[in-house]
Structure 1
Amino acid sequence: MRSWRSAVVVIVSVVAATLTTFGTAVGRAEPVGQGDTPGPVCAWQIMSNRDDLNVAFPDVNATYWVLPYALGPGDSISLSGRYPHARYFSLNTYGTDFNTVDTLRDNQIRPAGNDVNPFVDPAAAAGGSWQATVVNRAPNRSRNEIRGLPAAGAQRVPVGFLIVRVYVPDDPSSLSGGVELPTVVMHLGGAQVTLRPCAVPFNPRNYSGPIAAALTSVFDRAIAGAAANSFPAGSPEATFVNPNSTAGLFPNGDNKYIGAGLTYRKGRVVVIRGKAPTYPNTRAGASPAKPGVGLRYWSMCQNDKVTPYPVVACAADFQTRLDSDGYYTYVVAAPADLSRSSDPTATVIGWGDTNVPTKVVFLRNMLPSSGFYPSSVQAAQSKGGDPAVSMGAYYPRATYCDVVVLRSQGWRACYR
């Protein structure tokens, strides 16, 4: 049945949902009234980060842009963009179960013409151009193709989502890394529609109408189910473990995580110690393709484990203080319990709302080098064993600590 090409397709996206119409509404602006949802007059209709549509455990130092689509046999989506001035960027596709279909990361995207990819060549400057294509079949990587839908029969409707991720832009005020988001050309049933990036992304939580409310509810239920089952039942608190699964949470194929559940008690904080992997400090001028580093990116993030599963605070690699031996000490604390420890190497991560009953803190590892891989979260999960064993000194050891003990005796007393 082909009627979906000209009908209204309800698409639940990474952070909410929007209505997509493939027909005469595409490409022309229409007024948006109170309670209405805007039509697909532009690309990347939805943006998610800590400040805008904070859902599904995002990283504070990343921004995510979402393009919902529907693809029939032979359909495709052409993308034209420029390499951002940033630590990392990627294209990721997802099905209606919010699980990964395919990933095409920065250093896999071949440049256009005579341009050079700065994520491959450390001497290259960012800003060069690239082109890629979302296809409804097995992709040809030599042509920068990324698969848009799961294999035939894996889902009922031909609907998917494309997400552009940008981590740690060189200029914090430019979320997209100093370049415009990719231009989109949709090739659907013989028609061709060009969509420029939206000037203002659509956030359904800013609308009070029944459509926005219904779509937000559908999204929240889907994410809640995935998040509630993300960690093994009965896991001890303040102990980092492998998740059951990150399926259904729009996982990034280049990241792996371990996490620890936390609960608040007045006068008690969480102390986390571990050895810090090396990384390319792009905010200090290093190339994201710098050789010899452990991870492309890592961070420790505190999150609310209640819908819509927002991030509260993160300390990324470049924001984390280290001692002379290369170890970090995180103190997860509410303002009322904020430790004024004498240890100048401690990094404080905010607790957030103390009325939220359950929190989860994640250690995120991105793209380990071959030399670091045995100590990475990726290796811990591939082996299916205890990350505390396989990660060695790089495993984050967490403990609850009385704030008075921490203030008076330092972090070492918390581990006695």
Structure 2
Amino acid sequence: MNRRGAYRVVISILMVLLVPSIVFSDESEEFCETLARVNRGELDTREFPELAGHVLVAQTLLDASPDEIREDLTALRDTFGAWLNAVDGKTPMMQTFAILRDPEFAGVQGRIADYVAEQCGIRLGDGNYNVGTMASREGRCPAWPSVGNPATFNHFPNLPDISGGNYFAQRFWIGSDVPTPPGMLGVEAGGRVKLHGQYPRARYFAFHPNDEDLNNLRTVRDADLDPDPGSVNPFREIPKNEAPNYYTAWLVFDQPASNPPPNTYYVGARKNGIKPTRWVWNMLRLYASDIGDGPNSGGVPLPAVTIYGRDGKVVQHFEECEPFEVGEKHAQTDILFPVLPIADHRAVYPAAWSTSSNFDSPSDTLANADVQYLATFFSRRYGNVFIVRARNLKTANSRQGEPVSTPGTDIRLFTLCTYNIWSGSARDCMLEQELREDEDGFYTLVVSDALHRPDNLEEVNATWIDWGPYLDGQLTYRMVYRENEFARRIAFALNGGYVPPAMRDYIPRSAPCSRKRFEEVGWQGCFEDAGLEVKSAP
């Protein structure tokens, strides 16, 4: 964004916060004043869970809306309401997922944004949006028909990690009287699927089977996969040469066994282990790929897939498959969400933290079971700069040639991303190794838009991450693995638990600020203004 465009964003944001001074002369008056109250944080959502609060915001605007915008505000409310009902167990998650992924939702938000611009005089961003299609998600590998990466699905409702994160998915329909639905692979109850592939060049990979409620089943983790004879697992030990290293994993479509063989995972029952699941959504995730942040599969083909009947005979076989051809122009999503000028009710002061992977709901909703999620929320009501500071964790820099299995690290990895809940897109993401550190090993993360980016970041060893043109946003950490001692202690502390003095510096602390103030007094002055101690723990 150029400076002129950035100033337009600032003027629009000021209008959002000062809109009570505008005099309206038609039926839009009540709606615009209600929007202003919502954006000033005057709607009390303290007793509401996250998704319920979003539904309340939409309902409040709907109650004040003219007929002209009522249908789209109803769709906004009902979409988040469907999400809420699904995670509360009232609606099948798969049914809800179809609603959440409908590209028409971009049009719903776009028309709301247009109405707000025309009637309330508020326009954030460039105003562009496009309904589009899901075509970019279609992979070229028959056994892995769904592809997710920064180019294909960075939009609602995905909230993806785009710092080297790539996702490949397949769905298995467990044999019944109902024919296998389009896009799924059929397998008999009691049958098996063999996954035979190469360990990718990434700091993390795993297969994530999920039941029909989109709850996590046992994860097939990188470090847990015994290698084939003659191969080594690079997530356990440093390979002696550049030769490919293979593994073989099994998915068994039956109830979990009490003592499963190595590399064998039972996926025939729902998460509770008692009721059978009708189908399984298996996702291959890669984080922090050594190949880079764009679309890739970690420098290796996707695994071969062989489906066996319960009698042990081969039913179907798919060879290893390269998901992207060398030199190929990668598919790009044409779904584009607008910048919706509606506040995120979770942005409060002092900033709250969430350690939930799924909005504190009963359903895992395809969240990564290996990740400890940490999220905090920021708003321009409190300042156009948001600062987060903590001592950094030691990790292996595999992109610089350090093996993932390097001893002496604190944690496998963590990433940081900024999001807006309405668009569901990642504005910016980075790996922990992109964080500048001061002489004491601390990082200072500065969240702002381009116009409010402080000029002294390098001088004070701070790192910038983009807020974007939104009113507010969400900063999310993904820490691998969730049972790591540092990840557990940090999450425990953010929930109000005790942390030993030696661990306290690793707990993120945050404060709002302004660009001018940060440039004058640095993070220390901003923290003091917020009543936070500046001195680190002894």
Q: Which TM-score bucket, shorter chain as reference?
A: 0.7 to 0.9
Matched, 1:135 2:252: yes
Does residue 180 in structure 1 map to residue 297 in structure 2?
A: no
Q: State whether residues 118 and 125 of structure 1, in contact with CA within 8 Å, keep that contact through their aligned partners in structure 2.
A: no
Which structure 2 residues correspond to residues 44-123 of structure 1 after superposition, within 5 A?
44-54=144-154, 55-60=157-162, 61-71=164-174, 72-123=188-239
Identify the structure with bigger relative contact order (alpha carbons < 8 Å, sequence gap 6+): 1
Unaligned 5+ runs, structure 1: 1-8, 18-33, 208-227
Distance in 2 of aligned mates of 1:122 and 1:138: 32
Q: 2:411 aligns with which of 265, 277, 295?
A: 295
Q: Distance between the aligned counterparts of 1:388 and 1:334, measured in 2?
A: 35
Provide the C-alpha distance between the structure 1 equivalents of 2:139 and 2:487, rounded to a whole number of angstroms: 41
Q: Measure, in 2, the Cα distance between the counterparts of 1:125 and 1:369.
A: 31
Please tell me the residue identity of whatever aligns with 1:399: A
Paired residue for 2:510? 398
CA contact (8 A) 2:355 2:373 kept: yes
May I ask how many residue pairs the two structures share in their alignment? 362
- Among 232, 240, 261, the alignment partner of 2:353 is 240
| Residue in structure 2 matched with residue 377 of structure 1 by the alignment | 487
Distance of aligned partners of 1:191 and 1:123 in 2 relative to their CA distance in 1, 3 Å threshold: closer
What's the CA shift for 1:174? 6.7
Secondary structure of 1:294's partner?
A: coil
1:192–1:278 distance in 2 versus 1, CA, 3 Å: same
Q: Distance in 1 between matches of 2:241 and 2:395?
A: 19
Larger C-alpha radius of gyration, 1 or 2? 2
* Counterpart residue number, 1:192: 315
Aligned counterpart for 1:350 among listed residues 431, 451, 466: 466
Q: CA deviation at 1:11?
A: 11
Q: CA deviation at 1:248?
A: 3.4
Q: What SS does the aligned partner of 1:321 have? A: coil
Preserved contact between residue 256 and residue 273 of structure 2 (Cα < 8 Å): no
Provide the TM-score with structure 1 as the length reference.
Answer: 0.75
Contact 2:437–2:444 (Cα < 8 Å) also in 1: yes
Greater mean alpha carbon deviation, residues 235-244 or residues 130-139: 235-244
Q: Distance in 1 between matches of 2:288 and 2:234?
A: 15
Normalising by structure 2, we get a TM-score of 0.59
Identity, % of aligned pairs? 22
Distance (Å, rounded) in 1 between the aligned partners of 2:407 and 2:204: 15
Describe the SS at the equivalent of 1:404. helix
- The answer on 1:256 being equivalent to 2:369 is no
Alignment RMSD: 3.7
- For residues 278-320 of structure 1, the C-alpha deviation after alignment (integer angstroms, 9 at most, x for no partner) is 011111111111112101001221111125x222212211211
- Relative to structure 1, the CA distance from residue 249 to residue 349 in structure 2 (aligned partners, 3 Å threshold; closer, same or farther) is farther
Say whether 1:304 aligns with 2:420: yes
Query: In structure 1, what is the Cα distance between the partners aligned to 2:517 and 2:390?
Result: 20
Q: Alpha-carbon deviations, 1:227-272, whole Å to 9, x = none? A: x9xx9x7964534343353743312222101211122359611011
Corresponding residue number in structure 2 for 1:275: 391
- Residues of 2 paired with 1:204 and 1:52: CA distance? 5
2:237 counterpart of 1:145: no
In the alignment, the residues of structure 1 paired with residue 462 and residue 493 of structure 2 have an alpha-carbon distance, to the nearest angstrom, of 32
> What is the rounded CA distance, in whole Å, between the counterparts of 2:418 and 2:277 in structure 1?
35
Q: Measure how far apart 1:166 and its partner are.
A: 1.3
How has the CA–CA distance of structure 1 residues 46 and 200 changed in structure 2, closer, same or farther, with 3 Å as cutoff? farther
Comparing both structures, which one devotes a greater share of its residues to strand?
Answer: 1
Contact 1:77/1:185 (8 A) holds in 2: yes
- The SS at the match of 1:407 is helix
Q: For the structure 1 residues 97 and 378, does the alpha-carbon distance in structure 2 shift closer, same or farther, using more than 3 Å as the test?
A: farther
